[in-house]
Structure 1
Amino acid sequence: MEKEEKIEYLRSSLIKMKNVVVAFSAGVDSTFLLKFALDTLGRDNVLAVTVSSPIRFENESSQAVKIAKELNVRHVIIDLDETKDGNFAKNDPLRCYYCKYLTFSKLKEFARKDGIEFVIDGTNYDDVSKDYRPGLKALSELGIFSPLKDAQLTKKEIRELSKQMNLPTWDKFPQTCLATRFPYGMEITMERLKKVSKIESYLETLGLKVHRARYHDDRTLRIEVLPEDFSKLMDSKNEIIMMAKEMGFNYITLDLEGYRSGSLNEVLK
């Protein structure tokens, strides 16, 4: 389909739903979907819901609140603690499935109480073909709709449309939950999550385009940034080393291959 056809398909899909709960993380895709749904269905028929939990960055909720206010959309934040679920915490290759099932079960329950039939998320067309995404199975089982994916809108097209709509997220780098920082088989605990969150919060201040602090094991921290940002990282290496060693890491490494999405899934190939 041409881009204009995709947009019309998206619009008609939302009109058929009439009212929706949008899973809103303040990322590129969910912000675009929220704005498009708001323009299509009107304020009274759209509710943005943001999940706050230990595996999400603290500033995600504040960013979501800020954007929701700018868009003048109804918005609520609900709490969830995935680490209390044994299936999630054991961190096997189906972790993302368990996480999505927990999250969207709660969103469906919330929507039902509010009298809204449809819960929609920002999965795009690229997501169905790239990397390892077991979470998509949970969305399917729960009957969650992904209008961007169904309209075959790609990430590139969503960024272009977001820029045209003056959305602040149009050039935002992708951010994933903190659970993706741990190799499969390593239990995800609150203590480990706090360590990763603290280090990544510091990396956030260095002006890096994208960064990941991978909890390689209890002694080793592996940092990923884009190759062009290696020098920025090295300028602050002493502070990073000091912080990591205070947390108990013995080895603080820079991945010379640089940042790539889903690097911890490489062991599954």
Structure 2
Amino acid sequence: MSDRKLEQLKDLFQGMERALIAYSGGVDSTLVAKIAYDVLGDRALAITAVSPSLLPEELIDAQTQSAQIGIKHELVETHEMDNPDYTSNPINRCYFCKSELHDTLKPLALQRGYSYVIDGVNADDLQDYRPGIQAAKERGARSPLAEIGVSKAEVREISRSLCLAWWDKPAQPCLSSRFPYGEAITVTKLQRVGRAEIYLRKLGYQNLRVRSAQDTAKIELPAEDITAFVRDVDLPQLVKAFQDLGFVYVTLDLEGYRSGKLNQVLQ
């Protein structure tokens, strides 16, 4: 199945003269960038949007991965933090984020002569509440993975078959997704939650979230990791580290990590 879909993705890019990839460095957009480069060569360009909602470590990953692929890679700044419709964190916050992204990329693509702006939306994303997808569509972006029906699991399978070292990289949506709807987002809060997640990754935990609610940090780990985490981690030291970052309270979500958990309030 994945071999057939890989060929379909290649065929899709064969029909494009030039393509500009909205490239976050995540496993989805990196696979898209890889296939685009394999088919189009120098007629493909990957662009990463840099803003406070992107961890510096994620930017380094994006640069490293694009260099390994061989695709041309550039950076642009986006300014969603200047938009109160975004920073007030409404339930459609992602719409304003992607609007800013594609309002930046589309004129650039037209100026440079790129026929298409391509993103990494996959088929599973269409089943979740993702208002940003609407913003991208309104601006003419295309989503090859979703068009072909490639699921997240198939993205990883295809990436592994292409010997991409990051095929199992954990999902890392923008840091604004760590805050409950309605809580204002600031640069300070974004940096605080980002540093907290990096602290946990240095302890060896990769698939995780630190959800932030006012002065409280709530750690989400896979349910099967919780017992060992409580047993093995120096919890007083962890609490002190989080408090040094600006949190007052540190909690552990006993349900465990689940992608999109904050969207359950919408149900």
TM-score (normalised: structure 2): 0.94
Q: Which residue is 1:102 aligned to?
A: 100
Q: Which residue is 1:16 aligned to?
A: 15
Q: Which residue is 1:140 aligned to?
A: 137
1:220 Cα deviation after fit: 1.7
1:140 aligns to what SS in structure 2? helix
**Quick check: 1:176 aligned with 2:180?**
no
For residues 188 and 233 of structure 1, do their structure 2 counterparts lie closer, same or farther at Cα, with a shift above 3 Å needed? farther
1:11 Cα deviation after fit: 2.0
Conserved? CA contact 1:208–1:232, under 8 Å: no
1:107 aligns to what SS in structure 2? helix
Equivalent pairs: percent with the same residue?
Answer: 39
Please provide the CA RMSD for this pair. Answer: 1.5
For residues 203 and 81 of structure 1, do their structure 2 counterparts lie closer, same or farther at Cα, with a shift above 3 Å needed? farther
Q: Which residue is 2:61 aligned to?
A: 63
Q: Which residue is 1:38 aligned to?
A: 37
> Deviations for 1:33-77, whole angstroms, at most 9, x for unmatched residues?
1111111122x2100111111001111111111111111211101
Counting only pairs closer than 5 Å after superposition, residues 112-261 of structure 1 correspond to structure 2 as 112-129=110-127, 131-216=128-213, 218-230=214-226, 231-232=228-229, 235-261=233-259
For residues 3 and 213 of structure 1, do their structure 2 counterparts lie closer, same or farther at Cα, with a shift above 3 Å needed? closer
1:187 aligns to what SS in structure 2? coil
1:47 aligns to what SS in structure 2? strand
Q: Which residue is 1:83 aligned to?
A: 81
Distance in 2, matches of 1:237 and 1:152, equals 43
> Deviations for 1:168-207, whole angstroms, at most 9, x for unmatched residues?
1211111111100111111101121121112112112011
Conserved? CA contact 2:17–2:115, under 8 Å: no
Conserved? CA contact 2:18–2:113, under 8 Å: no
Distance in 1, matches of 2:30 and 2:245, equals 35
Conserved? CA contact 1:54–1:82, under 8 Å: no
1:174 aligns to what SS in structure 2? coil
Distance in 2, matches of 1:233 and 1:111, equals 49
1:26 Cα deviation after fit: 1.5
Q: Which amino acid aligns with 1:108?
A: K
Conserved? CA contact 2:2–2:158, under 8 Å: no
Q: Which amino acid aligns with 1:223?
A: I
Q: How many residues align?
A: 265
TM-score (normalised: structure 1): 0.94
Conserved? CA contact 1:178–1:193, under 8 Å: yes
* More displaced 10-residue stretch of structure 1: 71-80 or 93-102: 71-80
Runs (5+) with no aligned partner, structure 1: none
Q: Which amino acid aligns with 1:134?
A: P
1:219 Cα deviation after fit: 2.7
Q: Which residue is 2:6 aligned to?
A: 7
Distance in 1, matches of 2:39 and 2:230, equals 44
2:100 aligns to what SS in structure 1? helix
Distance in 2, matches of 1:197 and 1:157, equals 28
For residues 248 and 46 of structure 1, do their structure 2 counterparts lie closer, same or farther at Cα, with a shift above 3 Å needed? closer
Conserved? CA contact 1:122–1:148, under 8 Å: yes
Q: Which amino acid aligns with 1:20?
A: A
1:228 Cα deviation after fit: 2.4
Distance in 1, matches of 2:198 and 2:80, equals 21
1:4 Cα deviation after fit: 4.3
> Deviations for 1:106-158, whole angstroms, at most 9, x for unmatched residues?
111221221112100111111111x2111111111011000111011111112
Q: Which residue is 2:24 aligned to?
A: 25
